[in-house]
């Protein structure tokens, strides 16, 4: 266990969290009658504000990246406007946009989003539909438009899906300047201590070949509500080994981390399992650089 003196504050920029206002937003996926049907979903079916992400020493939350949470997918700018009115910390936003839209529609969406200075990129969840989505003929042109406007694509899909990874690699070779950040470790399906040479690891290797791709280590609770810390350490250090320490970020996935631990405990457990030398880059500098958090 790493012992951190309180005098030496650990600066954190959390590059993957969600705030909810269920009195204003839609949040289709959060409603009890809609999937996913998690038994513990009531834990997060409420509003969360900056007051819920305050950290105590030795941690200092200096800013964050807000990832779209389905506030209003018809008018995604509304989520960013709600954040702008309520957030007190420095932040940037990854907004919702559909990468399969006709390019003319997609460009209109992106142009509208770019009017807000907080928007640095978009997310469109691929997950189990990754092959179908990445095969869509509109995606290449839409990726080129994102690259042209220096916007990030936050990519959420399982890296064990060999065909999906291959499709993404083809798109990346056609748009080499597009910045892509892989969400939640590339969604491993199970706790597997022997990561070398499994399908997830092969996907990791393939995507690491592109200098414009980074990865966020978060979403552990999506793999298992009772993950162990040794596995957490193995996964983070594997990502650092493959991507290098300047393309890996530690993130919380708040409030979904609450399925397992509270926000303070979350940061303590990830700090405890990584070497001290990695803390500045993985917890602060990389998120600041990749997501342009002031």
pLDDT at 200 over 90: yes
Whole-angstrom Cα distance, residue 18 to residue 287?
16
Rg for the chain, CA atoms, rounded: 18
pLDDT at 160 over 80: yes
Whether 212 is in a domain gets the answer: yes
User: Is the Cβ–Cβ distance between 98 and 114 less than 8 Å?
Assistant: no
Helix 229-243 to helix 199-208 angle (10° resolution) is 30
pLDDT tens figures, 14-48? 999 999 999 999 999 999 999 999 999 999 999 99
Whether 254 is in a domain gets the answer: yes
Q: Confidence class of residue 143 from pLDDT cuts 50, 70 and 90?
A: very high
Q: Can you count the helices (H) and strands (E) in the chain?
A: 11, 8
- The CA-based angle 97-21-92, given to 5 degrees, is 50
Residues in Cβ contact with 124 at an 8 Å cutoff, skipping those fewer than 6 apart: 96, 97, 98, 99, 100, 133
Q: What is the mean pLDDT of residues 196-207?
A: 90
Number of structural domains (the chain) is 1
Question: How would you class 196 by CB atoms within 10 Å of its CB: exposed for 0-12, middle for 13-18, buried for 19 or more?
Answer: exposed
Whether 176 is in a domain gets the answer: yes
Whether 112 is in a domain gets the answer: yes
Domain that includes residue 47, residue range: 10-291
Q: What is the DSSP string of 39-107?
A: TTGGGGSS-B-GGGG---TTEEEEEEEEEP--S-SSSTHHHHHHHHHH--S-EEEEEE--TTS-HHHHH
Whether 2 is in a domain gets the answer: no
Whether 209 is in a domain gets the answer: yes
Range of lowest pLDDT (3-12, 58-67, 150-159): 3-12
pLDDT number for residue 4: 44
pLDDT number for residue 48: 98
Residues in Cβ contact with 167 at an 8 Å cutoff, skipping those fewer than 6 apart: 130, 131, 134, 135
195 or 163: which leads in pLDDT: 163
Whether 1 is in a domain gets the answer: no
Q: What is the mean pLDDT of residues 195-224?
A: 93
Q: Confidence class of residue 83 from pLDDT cuts 50, 70 and 90?
A: very high
Q: Confidence class of residue 5 from pLDDT cuts 50, 70 and 90?
A: very low
Which CATH number covers residue 112?
3.20.20.140
Contacts of residues 188-195 at CB distance under 8 Å and 24 or more positions apart, as own/partner, are 188/158, 188/159, 188/160, 188/223, 188/235, 189/158, 189/160, 189/223, 190/223, 190/224, 191/223, 191/224, 191/227, 191/228, 191/231, 192/231, 193/230, 193/231, 193/234, 195/234, 195/235, 195/238
Q: What pTM value is reported for the model?
A: 0.95
Residues in Cβ contact with 104 at an 8 Å cutoff, skipping those fewer than 6 apart: none
The secondary element (H helix, E strand) that includes residue 213 is strand 213-217
pLDDT at 257 over 60: yes
pLDDT number for residue 191: 72
pLDDT number for residue 236: 96
φ and ψ at 274, to 5 degrees?
-115, 150
pLDDT tens figures, 210-247? 999 999 999 999 999 999 999 999 999 999 999 999 99
SS3 224: coil
Q: Confidence class of residue 2 from pLDDT cuts 50, 70 and 90?
A: very low
Helix 263-273 to helix 229-243 angle (10° resolution) is 60
Report residue 188 as tokens. Answer: 């491993």
pLDDT number for residue 197: 61
Whether 202 is in a domain gets the answer: yes
pLDDT number for residue 3: 44
Average pLDDT, the chain: 95
Sign, Cα dihedral of 133, 171, 66, 247: positive
Distances (CA, A) of 151 to 119, 144, 255: 8, 10, 25
């Amino acid at each position: 266990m790493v012992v951190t003196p309180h005098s030496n504050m650990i600066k954190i920029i959390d590059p993957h969290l969600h705030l909810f206002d269920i009195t204003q937003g839609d949040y289709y996926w959060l409603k009890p009658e809609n999937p996913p049907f998690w038994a513990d979903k009531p834990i997060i079916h409420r509003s969360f504000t900056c007051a819920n992400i305050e950290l105590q020493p030795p941690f200092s939350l200096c800013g964050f990246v807000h990832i779209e949470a389905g506030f209003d997918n018809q008018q995604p700018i509304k989520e960013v406007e709600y954040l702008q009115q309520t957030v007190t910390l420095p932040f940037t936003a990854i907004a919702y946009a559909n990468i399969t839209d006709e390019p003319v529609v997609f460009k209109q969406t992106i142009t509208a989003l770019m009017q807000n200075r907080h928007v640095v990129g978009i997310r469109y969840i691929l997950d189990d539909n990754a092959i179908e989505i990445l095969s869509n003929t509109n995606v290449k042109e839409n990726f080129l438009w994102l690259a042209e406007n220096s916007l990030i694509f936050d990519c959420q899909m399982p890296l064990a899906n060999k065909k999906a990874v291959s499709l993404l690699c083809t798109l990346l070779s056609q748009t080499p300047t597009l910045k892509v950040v892989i969400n939640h470790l590339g969604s491993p399906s199970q706790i597997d201590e022997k990561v070398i040479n499994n399908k997830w690891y092969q996907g990791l290797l393939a995507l690491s070949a592109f200098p414009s791709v980074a990865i966020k280590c978060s979403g552990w609770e999506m793999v298992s509500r009772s993950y162990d810390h040794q596995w957490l350490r193995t996964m983070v250090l594997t990502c650092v080994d493959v991507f290098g320490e300047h393309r890996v970020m530690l993130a919380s996935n708040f409030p979904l981390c609450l399925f397992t631990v509270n926000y303070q405990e979350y940061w303590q457990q990830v700090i405890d399992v990584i070497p001290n030398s990695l803390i500045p880059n993985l917890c602060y500098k990389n998120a600041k650089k990749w997501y342009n958090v002031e």
